[in-house]
Amino acid sequence: MRALGIDIGGSGIKGAPVDLERGELIEERFRIPTPVPAVPEAVAEVVGRIAGHFSWIGPVGVTFPGVVLDGITMTAANLDSGWIGTDARGLFSAATGRPVAVLNDADAAGLAEVAAGAAKGEAGVVLMLTFGTGIGSALFIDGRLVPNTELGHLELGGKEAEKRASDHAREHHDLSWKEWAERVEDYLRHVEMLFSPSLIIIGGGVSKKSEKFLPLVRVRTRVVPAALLNSAGIVGAAMAAAAL
């Protein structure tokens, strides 16, 4: 079975058809920069263009970097505030002409890792963290998702954690990998104290460079990069679409 997954990020919107049995992209992903400002209508137009690029006629899954309740986007920390209270599911369905599932971006990435990646078969508490424009989170208990945790907004050192430890913060402050790893370690120790996970998975674009920072991070919990790397959000979105 196949479905189309589209992953909305703070800097780019990317999508690809996914083989759901293998949890793999079956065509090269197509990426368009996130519009500035990232207002709902402009983002929806890009989502429609991505679906059109693949001439897609089946269900579509779309991730969103914020809280999503029953297709309504409730927060938008790294996109335009006009998203708050928007019927994203209806908006994207109109843009693509297809039935659409909408879910939190980190939740989507976590679902993919649980089904076909680093957390497959993992019992207990598993925490997926995506480091990009912000920090997304997905919390699982024995494989079941606790949605919309948004742990990137926890306070760390007097600031929101994602303002200090996101990949965007690393680039913005021109931090070395060692300097950034120290901030990541502080953050992981904080969430470790709160949730006592048995496994932490690091996703987002920076997961492709995990060898540069993960060996420098010392925490009690086992920490691994996402097996699906930065494609996890697309795969998880497609999995949500298949449930329609």
CATH code for the domain of 129: 3.30.420.40
Model confidence pLDDT, tens digit, residues 68-107: 999 999 999 889 999 999 999 999 999 999 999 999 999 9
- Tell whether 112 is covered by a domain: no
CA distance 52 to 113: 27
Which long-range CB contacts under 8 A does 13-16 form with residues at least 24 apart?
A: 13/43, 13/46, 13/47, 13/50, 14/50, 14/234, 15/47, 15/50, 15/51, 15/53, 15/54, 15/234, 15/237, 16/54, 16/231, 16/234
**Same-domain pairing of 237 and 216:** no
Tell me how many domains the chain contains: 2
**Same-domain pairing of 22 and 59:** yes
**Same-domain pairing of 60 and 134:** no
Model confidence pLDDT, tens digit, residues 168-201: 999 999 999 999 999 999 999 999 999 999 999 9
**Same-domain pairing of 7 and 98:** yes
Report the pLDDT value the prediction gives residue 77, as an integer from 0 to 100: 87
**Same-domain pairing of 219 and 128:** yes
**Same-domain pairing of 214 and 236:** no
**Same-domain pairing of 40 and 67:** yes
* 16 three-class SS: strand
- Residue 101 belongs to what domain range? 2-107+232-242
**Same-domain pairing of 77 and 98:** yes
* 45 three-class SS: helix
pTM, full prediction: 0.96
Integer CA distances (angstroms), 195 to 133, 152, 200, 224, in order: 24, 14, 11, 17
